[in-house]
Structure formats: structure tokens, C-alpha cells
A and B are shown apart, each in its own frame.
Chain A
Amino acid sequence: MTYRRRASPLHAARASVGCAYCAALALATLLLSAPVALGAVVVSIAGAAIGAGVSREIRRAALLALPLGLLVMAVNMVVAQGGLTVIARLGDVPVFGQTDVTLEATVYGAVLGLRAIALILCGALYTAAVDPDEVLALFRRFSFHSALTATLATRMVPVLARDARRLAEAQRCRPGPPPSRARLMRATTSGVLDRALDVAAALEVRGYGAARRPAAGRRVRRPWSRHDLAFAASAAAIVGLAVAARVANLLPFQSNPSLRAPVGVGGAAAAAAFLACALLPFADRRGIER
């Protein structure tokens, strides 16, 4: 998955704001544990993906995250022994001993799995909708060379992936038995080293070896657009709502010894407000193309 500039309000916002928006969603995922709250976060991410035109990328990430979520749930079912409602008795399992699967541990595992999925989707949204060069430019003030190295690594991933595809195709054209994996690995490594030398030479002639900190000239201030303001406000509201819901215990969740996840009027309103805060910035679609 790579960043590609699209005509969307989130893409139109500056990278620092885009980062803040994705980070706010991730923070809410970590602060809230009620299924309704996590559901609101996941729906928000899905809505944001549609609003940003990256739903295909997020769907792909969700398909990759789903097995991890299920694994987290399955491990918790077996490992966690809390809860009063036994739904299966597995008997004496090596290493774990006497093992009972309880409804409470299963639901708690599902919540942990959902949280893991939501965090992965936040990362996917960031990757697909926030310009990595702009983000790295923010860090360049602190460590120019590290930021450039990170950019370079990002840039080389698709190049090396293409190289690998080419090598695989060439090997399919060889008659007879295919070469051993060790030989292929050696050939691949040689190719990567050749690439690395070429890139290093290109960086040298672009002045990388003599790189200096930017001159202390007057910075070009980019005016805050309506999308910068909207997503900054949205990120602040998401964090505020998540903290408030946590402090005021608006969306309580208990899984031991018995399940308890009541959704009162306050909790429902908080979830609805969360969705509104996360998705409203996408409603304004003026000036989204660049």
C-alpha cells in the first residue's frame, strides 16, 4: 500500500493535521474498550476511508488484519480463565492445564482483536492518506539524514518489488530444474547491492554528502486551509470525547467475572458524537484537488 494524492478533504489537509487525525483515532482505540465505542471507531475509520477515496486500500488492510484479530481472540479464549459462564470444557491441555472456555474471556478476546484491527486500520488510513514526504519534512528539522534514509527506504520498496518480480519471471524462462533458493538469494542480494550503489551515487551528486541544515531564511508559511482547520478540530474533538467518555465512564465495559456493557443515553450520545466528529470534515469537498 502506498500514498497517492487523491481529491479528498483528508488528502487536502496538511500532513501534520492528517497525522493528528489518524493519531486521534488510534488514541481513542486505546482509551476505549466498550464494544460500542470500538465499533464507533471502526465505523469512523471505514467512513473516513470512503470519504478519502481509499476504501479499497482499507478493505485490503482489513482482510490482512482479520486473521490477527481472530488469533488474538482465540489465544485469549484459551489463556484467560476468568469469567463465570463456561461455554466449553477442553479438559487437561498440555502447558495450560485444566482449560475451560468462558463466554467472558471469549468476548474480551474479541474486544482485544477488534482493538488490534482498529489500530491496523488507523495505520492503513495514515499510509494511504497522509503524504510521507511531507511528514518526513517535519522530522527533517531534527534529523535530516535519518528522515532522508526513511524516505529512501519507502521509495525503494516498490522498486525492489518490481526487481523481484522480474527476477522470478526470468527464472521461469530458464529451462530445466530451477536454481536453488540459496543461489537465487545470492543473485537477489547482488542485485540489491547494485541498486544500493546506484542510489548512493545519485544521492552524492544531489549533494547529500554535503547536506546542511536549511538556511535561516523566512519560512514560507502555508495558510491554514478549511480542511486543515476542520481535521485539526476533528482530531481535538475525537481526543476530547474519548478522554471524557473514559473519565466519566460513559461507556462502561466489564468482562470479569461476568459481562457488563450497558449503553445508556450518555454512552449512545457519545458514540454518535464520536462518529459525527470523525466524519463531518469529509462533508466539505471544496478545494480538495491540487
Chain B
Amino acid sequence: MTVLSLDRVTYRYPGSDAPAIEDVTLDIGPGELVVLAGGSGSGKSTLLRAANGLVPHFHGGMFSGRATVAGLDTRDHGPGALAAAVGTLFQDPETQVVMGTVRAELALPLENQGAAPAAVARAIEEAALALGIAHLLDRPTAELSGGELQRVALGAALAGRPKLILLDEPTSQLDPVAGDELIALLRRLNEDLDAAIVIAEHRLERCLGFADRAIAMRGGRVVCDAAPADFLAWACESAPELSTPGGRLLAGLGIEPVAGVKAARAALRSRGMLPEAGERGAMHTRRRTPGAEPAIRFDRVWHEIDRGPAVLRGVSLTVGAGERVALMGRNGAGKSTLLRHAAGLMQPTRGKVRTAGRVALLLQNPSDYLVHEHVRQEASAGALATVGLGDPALRERHPRDLSGGEKQRLALAVVLDGAAGTNYQIAVVCLDEPTRGMDRRRKDELAALVCELDAAVIVATHDPEFVAAFAQRVILLADGAPIADGSPHEVLAGGTYFATETARILGGADGVLLPAEGVALVGRSIAPEAEVSA
């Protein structure tokens, strides 16, 4: 008995020469929780769209093979007919919540199925209680946060009690707290309901720990289909970009990788390799090295909204020339507002911002910067070369046809481009949530690019792994004011939400953040014992 069965499915989007998915065969049983892994463009989203009937009914194109969902062949049944059996959650919460109030949103799929009003009312109550959104039922959807909207969209996907739930990077647009809450909710729903869940996700460390199975895709093909631990072992060997930090740490120590922080810690403890929590040594290799001159100085900066809250509360900060700083903090802490003040998009209601030159600001959505027909028209050749887009063929392409990572680089080139005819140097480059929805390879590329810039860099981000890869200094904001300011090892190692997976596994020992550092630390700590036993 399978809920989803794909038999040699190959699909090509209209106007495309290469298939988006090729010869995919897999079966998913009732109640299974499956993680779909793969880089951007590997075919994860297309596979999910083939499972809910959007491929080929909505997108068109060439489809071959056979896809069956709860016994319904997708060639004969479109997404509307499959909606009773399949619930789908996409990335962007804004465009998948279509009604004005939460109650109306939850009612929509059932009303579309022609359910009787009593059944609709009951399903709304049950979905709201299951997702903890009963208090939101009469709230306008326009007023909800991203996390709340995503819960509502999940409620709408669940309201008809589907047998299969498909989630396409559901946490990519959410902050880590909202993302973790959504994943925990899915875990509970998977236990309570008998629905199979297929979740495509870049941050595998979030969900691999409680998955039954992981499927990896590359170039539209399934390249691994295994239990999470076996998948990690395969990834460490054959696809390092898909392995989790915990997996890399264990593999580096010669231990069979396991999924999840708890299991990884247990594996280390059982071998006597878990360092004492809070243990301090000589690991702080990336000490802050501020430049001689300040690139930007915030002097008691306040931002108070008329008839609203104070978003920034007397922020005083100095960032040195060439310094790489990460701004972290929960949503609403003031990170984006601080960057807008740095770039002059907002003016402080009190206090001053002084800069040593121009401030380039890249906001969250790179597509907003791209308005021309060709890449070469967006920025000068020099700026394009700086961000690695110097390829002549690429310069002739339309900006909207670029991949997500290329768009990000192009937008960065746009803001880095000097004003024509001036020598006004860029003193600071500010990036607001640049890694949202990016796979690990793109994050690594961006971190490398950021490290090559001469200007000071300030990045507002929720992503501790990215911070560990590029930052020399981390400032933690809460309620509009800095509450911690230090090296990444000092700020990130001891926490939970603002800590890397390696730091969580090792309990913050020695301020270790990255798997390689963890391997070195454990190696050092067990070496003396080895000598003693010898």
C-alpha cells in the first residue's frame, strides 16, 4: 500500500531542453516522513509538483511515466481533483494564503470540495486546535507574521485530512524560531495523523533527526534513498554539500554519522569523546581585528515610530574598516532597521550615524534591484567581475532567468557599483538576510565573496552556520539594543537558537562552531588519554 508512487517519471518544462526530473521511481507509504534533499535546481520542487498534479496540468510541458497519488493517476486527475488527497505547502506564505481571514482560509479547500457547512465548521475547529491557531481564526490574514501565515497555510493544507502532505522548503522564508516551531508541529502532526509527509528542505539538520527516510536528488535524478543515518554516511562520502554539520563532525572523527543533535552527542559520549561543556582552550583563532579607522559609527541612535514602539533604543556601535560583522537577533529586534539607518534609507529620530564613505545596502529580495533586460545593463563590467559574473555569455542573459544565487550576486554588483564619475568609495556593505532559501553551496560561495570585499561588511542574518563561516564579530540585538558584542566563538557557542549545530552537539566547549574545529578539539582532548593508556 503506497500513498505516492512514481514510476519512471520524466518531466520537461515547456521551452526547456533538459528534463527537470528524469526517470524517477519511488514509493512512499502511509505515515512515512520523508526528507527530500538536494541543491537548488536539483528537481525537488518539480518532484513535489508532480505529486500534487501541478506537473503537468498547471505548468504544461512533456510528462512521461506514471505518478499515482492515493490510487489516483495524476495524468487523469488534475490538482483540483487531487486536492482532497494531497495537501501542499509552498515556500512563500504571502502568496499561498488567499482569503481575508484565517477562518475563511481554512474553509476554502473544503468548500472547494463541496463539503457540507457543518463539516467545514468542524474541520476548521479541528485544524485550528491541531495547529494552535484557534486564537487567530478571526484575525485578518494581512496582519499575520510570516510564521503565523505559514501555520495558517499548513492548516488549509491539512483541513481536508489529506493522506499525503507535501512541503516545499516551508521554513525558507521564516526566522529560525518560527521555522523550528513549524518543524516541531509537523513532527507532532505526523505522529497524530496517519498522513505521509514529504518535506524538501535545505537545512537538513532541522528535520533529519526525526525523518524515517531521506531522498537525495541531483540533476533531476534520485541519487540516494535511505534511512537518515545511511543518507548522512552517503552524503559525507559522495555529496558533502548535503551533509549536516553534525554529520561532518562525526565523520571527521571516524564515527558513523547519525542524524540529530541528541543522537550525535550520545555517539560521542559513548566513545568518551564529548568534551566538558564550557571547556575553554586555545580555539579562538578568529579574533576580531578592527581596522584603524571606523567605517561607520552609530552614536546613540534611536528610531521611535510615531504612535508606535521604539525600534532602536540608543544604539552606539563602531564598525572598523574592513571588519566583518554579523547582526543577529529575533524578528523585530531592530536588525533591518539598523541597516536602513546605516544606508540612509531611514533617519534616526535621535542620535547620529557617521560613515567614512558610501554605504551599499542589499535588501532581502534581490529581484527588486533588477530592472534591465540584460545582466550587463545592471552593473559595470568591473562590478560584475567582482561578484564572479564576468562570463560574457552570462552578461547577455535576462536577469530574471538567473538562478537565485546569481541574482543575489548581480544585486550585490548593482549596489557595489560606483556612482558614475565619482570617487566616492564604498565604506560599508550591508546585507539583509542574504542566505534565505539558499542551499549550502551558495552560502559557502557568498561567505567567500563577502570575505574578499575590502569594505566593512555588516550582515543581518538568522543563520549561525553562515555567521560562523564569514564573521569576525557578532552583535546580538534584542528590543532595539545590542545585548552581546564579541567574537563568533564568544557569542554563538553557548546558545541554542543562535548556535551552530556543532556548538550545540559539543555543548559550547571551547567556543567551537565549525565541524573542523570540533574535530580538532576532540582530537586534542583524547590525545593525552591515548598517551596514558599507551
Contact = CB atoms under 8 A, between A and B. Distances in A.
B262 interface: no
Contacts of B88: 205
A214 B111 contact: yes
Given A155-B142, A198-B90, A220-B117, A206 B109 contact: yes
A133 B101 contact: yes
Interface string A189-203: 011000100111111
Contact of A158 (B104, B142, B340, B345): B142
A99 interface: no
A3 B102 CA distance: 13
A172 B109 CA distance: 41
A209 interface: yes
Interface in A205-228: 205-220
Contacts of A140: 111
Contacts of B112: 206-208, 210-212
A186 interface: yes
A172 B343 CA distance: 10
Interface string B411-436: 00011011110000000000000000
A152 B104 CA distance: 12
Q: Which of A167, A206, A217 has the most CB of B within 10 A?
A: A206
A207 B109 contact: yes
B109 A220 contact: no
Contact of A155 (B79, B141, B418): B141
Given A206-B109, A209-B80, A215-B114, A195 B100 contact: no
B156 A206 contact: yes
- Best-surrounded residue of B58, B84, B340 (most CB of chain A within 10 A): B58
B100 A154 contact: yes
Given A175-B358, A205-B54, A210-B81, A169 B345 contact: yes
Given A133-B103, A173-B362, A4 B79 contact: no
Contacts of A211: 80, 111-112, 114
A211 B362 CA distance: 42
B138 A195 contact: no
Contact of B104 (A133, A159, A187): A133
Interface of A: 2-5, 131-133, 137, 140, 144, 148, 151-152, 154-155, 158-159, 166-167, 169-177, 179, 183-184, 186-187, 190-191, 195, 198-220, 290
Contacts of A166: 363, 365, 368
B371 A187 contact: yes
22 contacts: A133-B99, A151-B98, A155-B141, A159-B142, A166-B363, A167-B368, A170-B363, A179-B371, A183-B371, A198-B90, A198-B92, A202-B96, A203-B98, A204-B78, A205-B53, A205-B54, A205-B88, A209-B79, A210-B113, A212-B114, A217-B117, A220-B121
Contacts of B95: 159, 195, 198-199, 202
B114 A214 contact: yes
A184 B369 CA distance: 10
B108 A191 contact: no
Contacts of B98: 151-152, 155, 199, 202-203, 206
Interface in B301-333: none
Given A187-B371, A214-B111, A176 B117 contact: no
B118 A220 contact: yes
A4 B140 contact: yes
Contacts of A167: 368
A148 B420 CA distance: 49
A207 B113 contact: yes
Contacts of A202: 90, 95-98, 153
Given A202-B96, A202-B98, A208-B112, 6 more contacts: A5-B101, A133-B99, A172-B345, A203-B98, A206-B98, A210-B113
A5 B99 contact: no
B171 interface: no
A173 B360 contact: yes
B104 A151 contact: yes
B375 interface: no
Which 9 A-B residue pairings sit nearest by Cβ, starting from the closest? A217-B116, A210-B80, A209-B80, A207-B83, A212-B114, A170-B368, A207-B112, A202-B96, A198-B95
Contacts of A170: 363, 365, 368-369
A210 B365 CA distance: 34
A173 B369 CA distance: 8
Given A166-B365, A198-B95, A218-B118, A5 B79 contact: no
B52 interface: yes
Contacts of A207: 79-80, 83-84, 109, 112-113, 160
Contacts of A155: 97-100, 141-142
Contacts of B415: 173-175
A186 B79 contact: no
| Best-buried of A158, A166, A191, A203 by chain B (most CB within 10 Å) | A203
Of B114, B345, B361, the most chain A CB neighbours within 10 A belong to B114
B90 A212 contact: no
B115 interface: yes
A189 B58 CA distance: 21
Nearest to A196: B95
B370 interface: yes
A159 B86 CA distance: 27
B78 A209 contact: yes
A137 B98 CA distance: 14
B119 interface: yes
A71 B11 CA distance: 61
A158 B149 CA distance: 14
A132 to B, nearest CB: 5
Contacts of B531: none
A147 to B, nearest CB: 10
